Amino acid sequence: MHRLFAISLLFCGTAFADDHSSPDALIRLVHQDCGSCHGLTLKGGLGPDIRPDALSHYDVETLSEVVLDGIQGTAMPPWRPLMSEAEAKKIAEYLLQGELK
């Protein structure tokens, strides 16, 4: 688990180097960093499908917490050390709606 987390941190370097608070940067972050495990089209890979229909059982707050804290016992790492709660909320909104408003 720790090895997978370390590898996932290597992937996040380029996306977090940018100002990731802009909508374009957050979308790029989702497709590059989340896509490294969930598939570049977000249809699933190492991790499950994270498109809106697959996540419809989540609300924004719960999904934000999953992004920030990961899921214990799975390969989903916590991103809290690398992003703010506001950024995680924007990512959750994007994942649930398929767009950023």
User: Could you state, in chain order, the average pLDDT of each consecutive group of 10 residues for the chain (101 residues)?
Assistant: 43 46 85 93 94 97 98 95 94 89 58
Which DSSP helix (H) or strand (E) runs through 63? Answer: helix 60-69
CA distance 76 to 86: 19
pLDDT at 5 (0 to 100): 41
| Pair of tokens at residue 19 | 């100002």
| Pair of tokens at residue 77 | 């790492």
pTM of the model: 0.77
Sign of CA dihedral 72, 14, 92, 38: negative
pLDDT at 16 (0 to 100): 46
pLDDT at 21 (0 to 100): 66
Q: Rounded to 5 degrees, what angle do the CA atoms 79, 30, 44 make?
A: 100
